[in-house]
Amino acid sequence: MKKLTELHDKARGHSRRKLVLAAAHDAHAMEAVINACKNNIVSGIFVGDEQKIQEIAENKGFDLSEFTVINEPDNAKAAALAVKMVRDKEADILMKGNLGTAVLLKAVLNKENGLRTGEQISHLAVFELPTYHKLIALTDAAMNIAPEFGEKVSITRSAVAYLQKLGIATPKVAMLSAVETVNPSMKSSMEASAIAKMGDRGQIKNCIIDGPLAFDNAVSKKSADLKGIKSPVAGDADLLVADDIDAANGLYKAFIYFAQAKCAAVILGASAPIVLTSRADTDETKLNSIALAAAVKQT
């Protein structure tokens, strides 16, 4: 895939997914869902303070006739109800509204009634860059601060599985470090090498993993050739796995602010995709993120 609009096409290519917005009394989140519905990407369910939802709709001129609205003014209860709807297959996608991320994730990670899968909850961003020949994904720029080795394996596994669901049969994964050689003094290079070997041995399936790779080698074949790096991933990565949130978040924002990237993002590791958009996100990013969540076929 070369364009994020291809995600929209994929979402429209199957029956419309149902998205449930938890604590839906938020004008920005409501507008994003309404826009996605108008574009035939999802259908929507609003769970939240019904009076506030109706007031927002009246003030903004939103037509709620096609939406199911469920009254639950308490944010924690709204999150639990939205999660229950996903668990019970009454909805396919969970989205954060006017509540804290911690409140939503508490409901998601509830041992008895949540959406746990055993995998690490993680953030996957997908970018359309004018300087790269296809879409490229990045993890984890928002959820895990300094993942331990096992957590990094889980994050990588979840991202690979999601890219496969999007139609990338054998994703090429670049485990990032500041260097392309293994340095015992540099944790990122050691863990990148170990995860790459796990890929070689089939412990992380259906992908090609290489690392450590510095960022330039992961995305530039010319750079890799100049350094004598022979790798099927070099210059053709589908997925970048950063060592920690500082590295990933820096790349994420550099792509957007310096490289004019278009973006979509989703939270993985639960039994259904989760959309966590920010008020700072553009309308296009919000729409793309919902499309990224809706593009995969549910199992």
Integer Cα distance of 273 and 262 in angstroms:
20
Residue at 43: amino acid letter: S
pLDDT tens, position by position, 224-248: 999 999 999 999 999 999 999 999 9
From residue 202, give the alpha-carbon distance in Å to each of 12, 146, 156, 195, 291: 34, 25, 13, 11, 31
Backbone angles phi, psi at 108, to 5 degrees: -65, -40
How much is the mean pLDDT over the chain? 96
pLDDT tens, position by position, 190-213: 999 999 999 999 999 999 999 999
From residue 100, give the alpha-carbon distance in Å to each of 61, 103, 104, 116: 26, 5, 7, 19
Q: What is the reported pLDDT for 183?
A: 95
pLDDT level of residue 299 (50, 70, 90 thresholds): low
Q: Compute the average pLDDT of residues 206-223.
A: 96
Write b or e for each residue in 141-158: b if 16 or more Cβ atoms lie within 10 A of its Cβ, otherwise e. Answer: bbbbeebeeebbbbbbbb
CA 127 to mean position of chain CA atoms: 11
Q: What is the reported pLDDT for 281?
A: 87
Q: What is the reported pLDDT for 190?
A: 97
Q: Compute the average pLDDT of residues 6-22.
A: 95
pLDDT tens, position by position, 141-180: 999 999 999 999 999 999 999 999 999 999 999 999 999 9
pLDDT tens, position by position, 81-112: 999 999 999 999 999 999 999 999 999 999 98
**Full-model pTM:** 0.95
Q: Compute the average pLDDT of residues 263-290.
A: 93
Burial class of residue 182 (count of CB atoms within 10 Å of its CB; 0-12, 13-18, 19+):
middle
Instruction: Select from 263, 180, 176 the least CA-distant residue to 227.
Output: 180
Dihedral (Cα; 40, 42, 45, 51), 10-degree rounding = -50
Q: What is the reported pLDDT for 298?
A: 65
Q: What is the reported pLDDT for 251?
A: 97
List the single range of 36-50, 69-83, 234-248, 271-285 with lowest mean pLDDT.
Answer: 271-285
Q: What percent of the chain has pLDDT over 70?
A: 99
